[in-house]
Chains A and B, each alone.
Chain A
Amino acid sequence: MTILAFDWGLVIEKLILIAVVVFGSLGIALYTTFGERKVAAILQDRPGPNRAGPFGLLQPLADGVKLIMKEEIIPNAANKWLFILGPGLAMTASLMTCAVIPWGSDIELFGRKIALQIADINIGILYVFAVVSMGVYGIMIGGWASNNKFSLMSSLRAASQAISYELAMGLALIALLMTTESLSLKTIVEQQVKGNWWNIVYQPLGFLLFFIAALAECNRTPFDLPEAENELNFGYHQEYSSMKLGFYLFAEYINMIMSSAIMASMYFGGYDLPFFDESTVAPNIAAMIGVGTLLIKIVLFIFLFMWIRWTIPRFRYDQLMNLGWKTMIPLALFNLLITGALILANL
């Protein structure tokens, strides 16, 4: 019988890694909500949440308790199973992305070499795309199951927006993949650690397009049309209450963290600390420095997301579609052409 002939050390190692990454992302997401309110407050010249704990630091916990304690309401006309499935799917899809993100270089513990990445698969980026395209189901199912026309309109908007911007995102990414010649995120980061420049130097236009598409995929302002409260009351989660609403709101923040991590890994060197030679310190310390560097990059990206949200007004729906189909896709194709020409010319 060879049914259970696993390498149990590997299984335990991966389980611990998964637990750390998932709970870590949840913790960061918790404080991202706090950060969002503080950043909004600073940009609007007001103090922001400052009552719960020192500097209001316990505010996210208070919000969490409030959400859990609220009454759970399932509308009579709703499709009960799908109504419950919706937020769960949204949350699962946003957390699944973290499986392929390399959080740091290898560490050595108890004589084992442990990679700080849950799975280094050779189709890493395509996996991210698959998960991103799954994310829209949570919104669509939730919006439809609520049996409310505003929710339905909102979820249809979310789906068409996601489909439109996925194309530009993919095309922007193909140009990057042409230069890296690998789909594995780990390989892409290692190339940037060893090489002289980060990929942003080779793909400035590609990054810009990817960033705009990421804003749209995360439903962030100026692309937050699914939540346009002046037209749709609230959005696809209008009928939701208690922690199911919390899941939807939380999934958005986790999406933000994951897309920041992906952008940092692909265009900004991932866990690479610039002007610092990792081989001069012990591997474990180098890995820890790498994890810290990646986290700082993620926080900077999240700040950028928030800065944009509290600065730029929302698009109109036709403007959104025009930008996606008539500006971003041609630009991405142009970028692809230039990259291909430069590779052919051996530059």
Chain B
Amino acid sequence: MSTVDILFYLLSAFAIVSATMVLISKNPIHSVLWLILVFFAISGHYILLNAQFLAIVNIIVYAGAIMVLFLFVIMLMNIKKDAEPQKQLLVKLTGVVAGGSLLTLLIAVVKQTTQIENKQVLLKEGTIGLIHPLGQALFTDYVIPFEISSVLFLSAMVGAVIIGKK
């Protein structure tokens, strides 16, 4: 086992434990904080894949901006533990079955994908995640999807401003 492998397993365990804690925390603020830790673990994985830009943007956008807004809203709503509506057992059970089936389906699909069969993830290799090659790829090969998505973001922004003005 190399250092990279050890880091991989550590980060994976970290991500899974944090993600589980997001689900089982009673306090929504704690859930948000655990979710931030999940994003950090995933950024660690990106770094192992030599995708530094993706890693840092993941932290800036998700952990830094979106989760701040989540925290903001939850703090202002001031959710109390006993004010939370308790769901019925049947509803809970249905949720578990539905979620479990989706998970099984996803695992089955990923397992049978021929493209990734007998292939290992390349850790610590490749340059596409570094900022220079990524910028080159985005502005040459993928320039049209890139511009379309930026127009999409712009329209979302305009929409947000209009809703905010009402």
Q: Using a CB–CB distance below 8 Å, which chain A residues touch chain B? A: 2-3, 5-6, 79, 82, 121-123, 126-127, 129-130, 133-134, 136-137, 140-141, 144, 152, 155-156, 159-160, 162-163, 166, 183
Q: How many inter-chain residue pairs (CB < 8 Å) link A and B?
A: 70
* Most chain B CB neighbours (cut-off 10 Å) among A6, A79, A130: A130
Chain A neighbourhood of B63, CB < 8 A:
130, 133-134
Known contacts A126-B53, A156-B76; 20 additional CB pairs below 8 A are: A3-B2, A3-B6, A6-B3, A79-B29, A82-B29, A121-B52, A122-B131, A123-B52, A126-B60, A129-B56, A130-B59, A134-B63, A137-B68, A137-B71, A140-B71, A140-B72, A140-B75, A160-B72, A163-B69, A183-B131
Interchain nearest-CB distance for B62 vs A (Å): 10
At the interface, yes or no: B33 with Cβ under 8 Å from chain A? yes
Q: Does B10 contact A (CB under 8 A)?
A: no
B75, A134: Cβ atoms under 8 Å? no
Contacts of B75 in A (CB 8 A): 140, 144, 152, 155-156
- Name B64's contact: one of A3, A130, A183 (CB within 8 Å): A130
Contacts of B1 in A (CB 8 A): 3
B residues bordering A, Cβ < 8 Å?
1-3, 6, 27, 29, 33, 36, 52-53, 56-57, 59-60, 63-65, 68-69, 71-72, 75-76, 130-132
The answer to whether A141 touches B64, judged by C-beta atoms less than 8 angstroms apart, is no
In angstroms, how far is the closest chain A Cβ from the Cβ of B86?
22
Report if A126-B6 is in contact (Cβ < 8 Å); known contacts: A140-B71, A144-B29. Answer: no
Query: Which residues from chain B contact A163 at a C-beta distance below 8 Å?
Result: 65, 68-69
Q: What residue in chain A is nearest B6 (Cβ atoms)?
A: A3
Nearest Cβ on chain B to A214's Cβ, whole angstroms: 17
Contact partner of A133 (CB less than 8 A), chosen from B3, B6, B53, B64, is B64
B72 touching A159, Cβ below 8 Å: yes
Identify the 8 closest CB pairs spanning chains A and B, nearest first: A133-B64, A130-B59, A126-B56, A130-B60, A123-B52, A123-B56, A144-B75, A130-B56
